[in-house]
Amino acid sequence: MAEYGTAVHEASRKAMTAWYDRLAAAAKTGAPTAYLMISGNCVEILRAFDIEPVFPEVNALQLAIRKQSLPLILKAEEMGYSSDNCAYVKADAGFTFGEAAPGGGKIPKPTFIVCNFVGCNVYIKWFEHCSEFLGVPLTMIDVPFVRAERPSDGDVRYVVAQLKKLIADCEKATGKKFDIDRLREICALSAKAEDGWQRCKDLCKNTPAPMDAYFDAINLMGPINVLRGTQDAVDFFDVAVREYEALVAAKRGPIPVEKFRIVVEGPPPYPFYRQFRDLFAAWNAVAVQSTYSTVGGIWEFGFRHDPKNPLESIAQQMLMENLCNRSLLDRYKQIRRYVEEWKADALVIHSVKSCRLFSAGQGDMRDYFANELGVPTLLVESDLEDPRYYAQAMMKNRIDAFFESLEHRKLLRRAQ
Amino acid sequence: MEISAPAVEQAKAVVAAGLAPALKRSDAPSFGCFPVYSPYEIIRAAGLLPVGLMGAGASIDIVHADARFQSFVCSIAKTSLELGLQKRLVGMEGAVFHSICDVARNLASVFKRNFPGMHIEYIHLPQNAAGPEAEDYLVSEYRRVMAGLEARMGRRIDDAAVAAAIREYNRPRRLMRELYAMRAKEPERIGAAEMFPLVRAGTMLPPDEHARILQVAKEEFTARKPRRMDRVKVVVEGAFCEQPPIGLIETLEGAGCYVVDDDFCAGWRWFSTDVPEGPDPVRQLARAWLERGRATSTRFNPDKPRHKDLVRRVRESGAQAVLFMPAKFCEPALFDYVVFRRELEKENIPHLMVEFEEKMWTFERTRGEVETFVESLLFD
Ligand code: SF4
Ligand code: SF4
């Protein structure tokens, strides 16, 4: 069999490139496009009108991973953004605003902006700014944060009513009539991709895990969040499941010998993705689960879009079935399940300055896991977009010290 | 409560005493309200005293909260938590947080885990005011909160109690509006460092006691014979959640500003009018939030863009400039600055950014910056 993850990586890259090509084409032809946020998104509705979604978060991510973010962040700071604002927004703002052709001609100016306010309050600011600077109308979809075990009927009604308004806006933007059967088909495709997602995540319960569910989950996140509802996404997950099943059968994973199984919380430091990853690889540590991979949606616990009730299930996913719209305490529960069901040795919290949605209160999370549950927990800090907050030497020291003590613990336990 | 000292002194004493007296009251258990806006009337109707859970300024040393919230999180979140961790909220029945920002939301969870005896509530205030569904949603949200409080307090909250609370709170609200209007017209009559404790005291007192202080203050201010000085009239914007130390407000005045409008304690002065006292008081409250609420950085309202509203307030108050005053690390305020600045520049309104922290205690640098700004306006 081929190298670990090659087929998945290739398939992901191909599917995402095709999407970028469609965006570049739309930038030329003026075909309808809409901005959308990743978290708990309602891309199915846009697809029902053949509106191509544009995700500024993916743009920010790409800029960071290609090490292009800093000059753009500085440019945004000149515009008045604070050094304490989320740098995802700043990099995208530096890239998009004030240019004659936003997106360098490759990312279209959207026909309209859909702010799916799912959890992150920064989303509202980000898209308000886009609307203001680009002069493009904005549709707000206010998704009540989960305050109880389940969203209330009032919550669901409120979101569905707004989705209906979005449908009316899409009809206006495209001149097409809404076809509920088309939406059902799209939801069925979503559900198939979600099956694949769950299967990939479940396979990581094996020892060794066939993929790194933090560093390599990014290959899965593009297709599930951006391309959901298309045959491309379904095909991608067929490839992924096949490859990971084969790896499980061959008892192989991302590193030669899996020594530590970790759960990672928080987004990665994209400008130093490789370096950061190597610090864990050096200890033969594999992430068997991660919360970051569920910002868009949590499918590993069984939720699926439902072709029978398309609007309600889209509302349900926005309200409940993603990490961002759940409380910190719900996140503790999610991580606890990960640690127990995926049989992890430790929890690593990567706290990022930009993203207070993730980071505010992570000290409390450490207290809960380390002191109350007795799960070895490491908390390190940097940023997901701004390279100025990453210090490799310090990061290495902290990670090395943590795994040394973890190794020591393991040895002790074995000796007992 | 007897108003023995001048009203402003009385208000300052209330503020200086912090939450402790409110927590010890025998007439009603207190219930903490994290900024910005809470439906105080509903909490009151449950037999509780809503008080502002709004940080602790420099009155507390952070010992534990730093281990829960990182260095890049605003101070109000940490000092509010620290109050609890140092057992200084004992006697508080519960607390409510709202969908104002990511920090406040996570803080609600941290409170819930660390203080299991408290009734912790989280209210998602709608970020979409357009359309009737927002009103229906908010009514259902308030009803949910009421059910939780009923279970906690073991008593029914009927509409009559909510209506009575609306009436009760309309009094101080009206008086605060009157004082603000008085100051906008004649800023020499009411100092910013006087208005601030008068408003802040309302976050620690029952509405009738607050109203009494405000009423006396109004009479005292009316009787004054002030002299207008050569100062610049400014609108202060950005301090809607974490509150500045009073020394900072004194500094602004000392540096030559008349504050003609501000957003201090914005949630306690949320409505532009009284809340209507008609039938179905819960719906009245929800509708008022949507239709008569402030434009602040923690809410999205397409019908009332915040940058346009800021310009309107500058024009209406006759201000010459805006002092933009966000709390350090306050993401909603800092984000809005970008759009505010752009709009103010379009409108040729001078502005200055003065970042603060509730626990700051030296103001020399700020004084220098504001003085320079004021001079540039006075002698231009
Ligand atoms: S705060 Fe976090 S979730 Fe929100 S836009 Fe920034 S990076 Fe994304
Ligand atoms: S000061 Fe700003 S960031 Fe902090 S809790 Fe208040 S609104 Fe949120």
Q: Per-residue pLDDT tens for A198-221?
A: 999 999 999 999 999 999 999 999
pLDDT number for residue A98: 65
Nearest atom in ligand 2 to the alpha carbon of residue B107 is 5
The C-alpha torsion from A289 through A290 and A296 to A300, rounded to 10°, is 20
Q: Vertex A73, ends A72 and A74: CA angle to 5°?
A: 90
SS3 B98: strand
The tens digit of pLDDT for each residue in B14-37 reads 999 999 999 999 999 999 999 999
pLDDT number for residue B106: 98
Q: Which band of pLDDT confidence, cut at 50, 70 and 90, is reported for residue A341?
A: very high
Cα dihedral sign for A225, A231, A232, A238? Answer: positive
Give the integer Cα–Cα distance in Å for B159 and B170: 16
Q: Which member of B66, B105, B342 has the closest CB to residue A145?
A: B105
- Chain A contact set for B334 (CB, 8 A): 81-82, 84-85
Q: Which ligand is nearest to the CA of A358?
A: 1
CA distances from B250 to A156, B235, B259, B325, B361 (A): 48, 15, 11, 14, 12
pLDDT number for residue B4: 62
Q: Tell me, what amino acid is at A326?
A: R
pLDDT number for residue A91: 95
pLDDT number for residue A106: 84
Question: What's the whole-number mean pLDDT along residues B61-87?
Answer: 96
SS3 B358: coil
Q: Which residues contact B3 (CB under 8 A, 6 or more apart)?
A: B10, B212, B213, B216
pLDDT number for residue A412: 86
Q: Which ligand is nearest to the CA of B80?
A: 2
Angle between helices B306-317 and B331-346 (to 10 degrees): 60
**8 A C-beta contact, residue A64 and residue A218:** no
Q: Is the peptide bond before A208 cis (omega within 30 degrees of 0)?
A: yes
Q: Choosing among A37, A81, A113, A121, which should be mutated to test the B contact, i.e. which has the most B CBs within 10 A?
A: A121
What does the mean pLDDT of chain B come to?
Answer: 95
Which residue ranges have their beta carbon within 6 Å of ligand 1? A 86, 88, 120, 122-123, 354-357
Q: What is the DSSP letter of A361?
A: T
Q: Which band of pLDDT confidence, cut at 50, 70 and 90, is reported for residue A167?
A: very high
pLDDT number for residue A410: 85
Question: What's the whole-number mean pLDDT along residues A42-62?
Answer: 96
Burial A239-255 (b: 16+ CB within 10 A, else e): bbbebbeebbeeebbbb
Task: Say what percent of chain A tops pLDDT 70.
Answer: 97
B11 closest CA partner among B178, B254, B201: B201
pLDDT number for residue A215: 96
The tens digit of pLDDT for each residue in A379-411 reads 999 999 999 999 999 999 999 999 999 999 988
Q: Which long-range contacts (CB under 8 A, 24 or more apart) does A10-15 make?
A: A11/A235, A11/A236, A11/A239, A11/A240, A12/A219, A12/A220, A12/A222, A12/A223, A12/A236, A15/A222, A15/A223, A15/A227, A15/A232, A15/A233, A15/A235, A15/A236
Q: Which band of pLDDT confidence, cut at 50, 70 and 90, is reported for residue A56?
A: very high
Distance of CA B107 to the CA centre of its chain: 18
Cα dihedral sign for B307, B309, B315, B318? Answer: negative
Residue of the nearest CA to atom 5 in ligand 2?
Answer: B104
Question: What's the whole-number mean pLDDT along residues B94-106?
Answer: 97
Instruction: Check pocket membership of B22 for ligand 2, CB cut-off 6 A.
Output: no
SS3 B303: coil
Task: Say what percent of chain B tops pLDDT 70.
Answer: 98
Q: Vertex A289, ends A284 and A291: CA angle to 5°?
A: 130
What does the mean pLDDT of chain A come to?
Answer: 95
A121 touches chain B (CB under 8 A): yes
The token pair at A84 is 């304490």
Would the pLDDT of B73 be above 80?
yes
Q: For residue B99, how far is its CA from the centre of ligand 1 (angstroms)?
A: 15
The tens digit of pLDDT for each residue in A230-246 reads 999 999 999 999 999 99
Q: Which member of A125, A142, A351 has the closest CB to residue B126?
A: A142
CA distances from B307 to A131, B302, B328 (A): 13, 11, 20
Give the integer Cα–Cα distance in Å for B54 and B109: 17
The tens digit of pLDDT for each residue in A86-109 reads 999 999 999 998 664 555 678 899
pLDDT number for residue B130: 74
CB < 8 Å from B in window 363-402 of A? 363-364, 367-368, 381
Q: What is the DSSP letter of A372?
A: I
**8 A C-beta contact, residue A323 and residue A294:** yes
The pTM assigned to this predicted structure is: 0.97
Element (H, E) at A94: helix A87-96
Q: For residue A355, how far is its CA from the centre of ligand 2 (angstroms)?
A: 14
Q: Which residues contact B141 (CB under 8 A, 6 or more apart)?
A: A144, A154, B123, B124, B125, B286
> Scanning every residue of chain B, which has its alpha carbon at the shortest distance from the alpha carbon of A78?
B338
pLDDT number for residue A207: 97
Question: What's the whole-number mean pLDDT along residues A107-127?
Answer: 96
B110 touches chain A (CB under 8 A): yes
Q: How many CB pairs under 8 A join A and B?
A: 157
* Higher per-residue confidence, A73 vs A411: A73
Taking the CA of residue A353 and the nearest CA in chain B, the distance in Å comes to 7
Distance of CA B242 to the CA centre of its chain: 8
The tens digit of pLDDT for each residue in A251-265 reads 999 999 999 999 999
CA distances from A20 to A13, A229, B98, B111, B344 (A): 10, 17, 38, 44, 37
Question: What's the whole-number mean pLDDT along residues A183-195?
Answer: 98
pLDDT number for residue B3: 63
pLDDT number for residue A101: 52
What's the CATH fold of domain B27-160?
Rossmann fold (3.40.50)
